[in-house]
Structures are given as C-alpha cells and as structure tokens.
C-alpha cells in the first residue's frame, strides 16, 4: 500500500508538470491535491442490539488503521472560501477486544468516505491555513466475515451506509508563483454504523452499533490553476 501511495503521488506530479494547457497560479479557481492519507478509525461497539449468535458480556471490537492515496479537488468561490471533495477507497479489518480479544470479526471491508467540506482560508501571507466543515457518508463495499464470525455461524455480513459530519483543518504552502505547493490536512469524522450478521438461512443473528469517528490525516502535493 505504501508503494502504491508513493507511485500515485509521483505519477500525479509528472502529469501535472507535463500539462501546459493549465497555467498554474496561486490565485487560480481550481486546486487539485494528491495526498498520502492515514485513516485511523475507532470501531468500538456502542450498542448490542441483537445477539442470537451468542457474543459474551464484555465483548468489544476495534478496526485497524490504513494508509491510502487520496485525490482532493477544490473550487475557490473567493479568495477565502472554497468547496472541496475527496476521493479514496480504504480497506479495513475488524477484530475483537475485551471478552473476545484475539477474535476476528470482519476479514475485509472497503470504505468510500464521500465527503464535501466548505472551507475558510485565513489571510496569513504566503502560507494559507484553513478550517472546514461538511457532510459525509461512508459507503461500505465487499464486506466479508472473518474466521470467528464464521465459526459462530455467521455466513454473510453487511454494514449500513450512514451520514455523518467532518471537521477539517490544514494548511497549503505555495512553492513559488506557478501554482505548485504542498498541503497538510486533518479531518475528524463523527460517524456511526451498524453491523448485521446473517446465518446460512439468511436470518440476522447479530446486530451491533459501532462508533467509527476516524481521524484522517493527509500530506502531499497540490496544483492550483
């Protein structure tokens, strides 16, 4: 994954540098960023709503961290106000904690964190700090039960797509007047989901509400034109 991230960033720089049709400018309306992004979710159980599968008292879960390449596209409505959206897929696993420490719950899930933020940029000379806020929805793709879930009779799993909120802060640092720069960004998401586990007959045997609330931290290159 790290090799993929570096390759994507280097490739993007080469493409941007070889595109004379888009004249770079620190005052341009569009900014594109290629970022290496750390996704740091929580994943703990907030509520056990259906437990036919027989999870013991004190069961808890956590999700692993991941590093992925991210594309961000931003439109500047004015010098200080912009709208930004991001695109990435991040893969995670969910394991047991507490009474089920060492258990494996989900072997694989892809998350598409569709997010749009309204950003305010502070006039601070050449360095451009900003804050932002906006809605988000996490789309869950290709969920797969892990060994412990299967051993307890779970044959398929589903995570609910739900809306949440993202708070954002960061800084853009121009490198000269040609539109190139570097960017550092941090987002805090407030996001929950429900895990549904089904047995071979299609009956739901486990329903748990999970707190995700990930930190998403990024750094990379930017091009404004």
How many CB atoms are located within 10 Å of the residue 105 CB? 28
CATH number at residue 46: 2.40.160.20
Q: What is the pLDDT of residues 135-156, one digit of tens each?
A: 999 999 999 999 999 999 999 9
User: Can you give the residue range of the structural domain that contains 121?
Assistant: 2-224
Cα separation, 34 vs 7, whole angstroms: 11
Give tens-digit pLDDT for 67-83.
999 999 999 999 999 99
d(Cα 168, Cα 184) in Å, to the nearest integer?
11
- Total of domains in the chain: 1
Residue 157: name the closest of 190, 199, 121 by CA: 199
Band of residue 22 on the pLDDT scale cut at 50, 70, 90: low
Q: Is the pLDDT of residue 158 over 50?
A: yes
Residue 190 β-bridge partners = 165
């Amino acid at each position: 994954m790290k090799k993929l991230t570096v390759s994507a960033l280097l490739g993007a720089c080469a493409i941007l540098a070889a595109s004379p049709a888009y004249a770079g400018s620190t005052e341009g309306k569009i900014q594109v960023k290629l970022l290496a992004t750390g996704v740091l979710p929580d994943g703990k159980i907030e509520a056990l709503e259906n437990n036919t599968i027989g999870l013991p008292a004190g069961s808890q879960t956590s999700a692993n961290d991941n590093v992925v390449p991210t594309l961000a596209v931003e439109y500047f409505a004015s010098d200080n106000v912009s709208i930004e959206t991001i695109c990435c897929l991040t893969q995670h696993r969910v394991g047991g904690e507490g009474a089920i420490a060492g258990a494996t719950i989900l072997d694989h899930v892809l998350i598409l964190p569709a997010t749009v933020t309204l950003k305010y940029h502070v006039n601070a000379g050449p360095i451009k700090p900003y804050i932002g806020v906006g809605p988000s929805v996490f789309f869950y793709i290709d969920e797969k039960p892990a060994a412990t879930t299967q051993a307890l009779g779970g044959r398929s799993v589903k995570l609910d797509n739900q809306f949440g909120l993202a708070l954002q802060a960061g800084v853009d640092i121009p490198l000269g007047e040609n539109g190139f720069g570097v960017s550092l960004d941090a987002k805090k998401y407030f996001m929950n989901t429900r895990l549904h586990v089904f047995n071979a007959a299609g009956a739901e045997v486990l329903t748990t509400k999970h707190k995700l609330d990930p930190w998403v931290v990024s750094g990379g290159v930017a091009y404004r034109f």
